[in-house]
Structure 1
Amino acid sequence: MSLKHAILGFLYKEPLSGYDLSKMFDGSRTSYWTATHTQIYRTLNELNESGMVYCWIIQQEQSPNKKNYHLTEKGREELFKWLKSDQGMTPIKDKFLLQMSFINILSEQEIDEVINNRIKRIKNQIDSLRCGDYYKGLKYAKNERERLLMYTALEYGVGLYEFELQWLKSCRAKLDNINRLNEYNSDSE
């Protein structure tokens, strides 16, 4: 239940509204976890009902009232318990890898198109991560150790995309070799 723990982690740093939390998950602060507004608000309600957070309403004249959420002692204990626990191995659940398992059904041209589109998407994601928006969140770190740990998490995300980019290029090169070999064999017959 990592969304619950991600929210508890953000609230450990400071009280936030649901809107503020949504901004945290929009990609500007993390490259490794996403959540929709609906998921965030549903989880906040569950955390509030379970006593891990409480909220208070801030009256605003120019805009709708705002609910600010705070971590309770129970929420803090849950966060620390989770932080100390072994997360085990993360099961791989990757739509693109599943797609690649069956892509042989398509023509060579269609396979090239799928791989090239994925390469473009990955390159754009790497560029986005490196442009600086993702690193703006580092300024909220309370000390150098926190900044370093936040940075290494972002670095890990970039590294995963860089690995996938190299893997895709390798797949494309291997497919090109097979295609050339098949052409050679058909010409030899």
Structure 2
Amino acid sequence: MSIKFAILGILSSKPLTGYDLKKIIQESPFMYWSGNNNQIYKSLVELLDEGLVTNEVRHQESSPSKKIYTITKEGLAELKEWVISSPEPPECKKPFLIQLAWADQLQPDELNTLLSGYENQIRMQILLQKEQQRRGTFSPARTSREVYLWDMIQENVISSYENELTWLEKIRKVIDSDCKEKTNGMNYRVIEKNEKKYIECFSAETPIQWEQDVLNLIAACGENNTNLLLIHSEAVAEDLFKLKTGIAGMILQKLVNYHVKTAVVLQEELKITGKFKELLAESKKGNDFRVFNNTAEAENWLIN
């Protein structure tokens, strides 16, 4: 579709300057052109040459002169002929779909970041469209039917974004379910005490040792509306306590980044030496992560 028909349509409501046309097109939720000066004025020149619009210069004493464009009878006829023509099939121009097509190469947390970023953009668009709807964007409003049609256009735009959110939720359900099937089979329960709720992870078929393992626990916290986590050392790979790699630090950082308050309960027979012993001493100063020798102390710190 040519931008010329959008210009003719707008001018059918009243005469306007090129600047006014540019502003209406740029603020419109469904007129998808950029509305830059070159695009607008090039089309206006073509419409003038075709006799579909006229213009006149209006001089102002205290302001620069204005060039006002008005649609002609021929322009109105051209517009109507286009309006009653067969509609073009809707176009699907979504760069995100191309990104998603090759997203299988991403790690679960990377895919989650991609989905979350797009989801945030969609939510922002919904807020923007609803705000524009509240303030009232350009609408000819010449008849009650025209008012209704323009309201329905606005509703169509908003519902398309809302449908996109529903579609994203569907993706997340399947991806999250698939992710759980591939996890370590962690055993946890939801504990409620003193009007507080926390996740207690007491064992795992394969001990926690990777970043994704802790992301699964963070997801479990989110699903149960809590940011409190208690982990028994039986569920954790022993190598993590030796701090031989940077994975332990990465796991702790994830818990902090997601604002999950975490208590770890150590087995009595677990020998703590070296850097992890230093970490224990340091953890006693923090409010995000601490290590305890028994569940009662860990729980007391966690929920108070």
Gaps of 5+ in 1: none
- In 1, Cα distance between equivalents of 2:4 and 2:160: 24
The 3-state SS of whatever aligns with 2:55 is strand
- State the match for 1:68 in structure 2: 68
- One-letter amino acid of the structure 2 residue matched with residue 177 of structure 1: S
Q: Which residue of 1 aligns with 2:25?
A: 25
Q: How does 1:61-140 map to 2 (within 5 A)?
A: 61-133=61-133, 136-137=136-137, 140=140
Structure 2 residues without counterparts, runs of 5 or longer: 186-204, 207-304
Aligned-residue RMSD, C-alpha: 2.1
Identity %, equivalent residues: 31
The Cα of 1:20 is off from its aligned counterpart by 0.6
Take 1:139 and 1:78, find their aligned partners in 2: how far apart are those partners? 21
Q: Which residue of 2 aligns with 1:3?
A: 3
- Matched with 2:52 is 52
Runs of 4+ in structure 1 off by over 3 angstroms are 132-135, 137-140
**Post-superposition offset of 1:177:** 1.3
Q: Which stretch has the larger CA shift, 142-151 or 98-107?
A: 98-107
CA distance in 2, matches of 1:72, 1:39: 21
Tell whether the 8 Å contact from 1:54 to 1:72 is kept in structure 2 after alignment. yes
- Which TM-score applies when normalising by structure 2? 0.56
Q: Which amino acid aligns with 1:149?
A: L
The one-letter amino acid of 1:90's match is: P
1:31 partner letter: P
CA distance in 2 between counterparts of 1:138 and 1:3 reads: 17
SS of structure 1 residue aligned to 2:136:
helix
- Is the contact made by 1:138 and 1:147 (CA closer than 8 Å) also made in structure 2? no
For the pair shown, which has the larger CA radius of gyration, 1 or 2?
Answer: 2
Tell me how far 1:134 sits from its aligned partner.
6.1
**Structure ranking higher in helix proportion:** 1
Deviations 1:37-73 (A, max 9, x none): 2322221122112221111111123332211111112
Residues 25 and 33, structure 1, Cα contact 8 Å, conserved in 2: yes
The CA deviation string for residues 2-36 of structure 1, in whole angstroms up to 9 with x for no partner, is: 41111110000101111111111122xx3112332
Distance 1:103 1:7 in 2: 40
Q: TM-score, normalised by structure 1?
A: 0.88
1:77 and 1:41 map into 2 onto residues whose CA distance is 22
Greater share of strand: 2
Amino acid corresponding to residue 118 of structure 1 in structure 2: Y
C-alpha distance in 2 between matches for 1:145 and 1:96: 36
Cα pair 1:17 1:68 within 8 Å, conserved: yes
- Following the alignment from structure 2 to structure 1, what is the Cα–Cα distance between the partners of residues 165 and 127? 12
Aligned length: 185
1:78-111 per-position Cα deviation (integer Å, ceiling 9, x unaligned): 1001110111312322211122112223322222
Q: Partner residue of 1:43?
A: 43
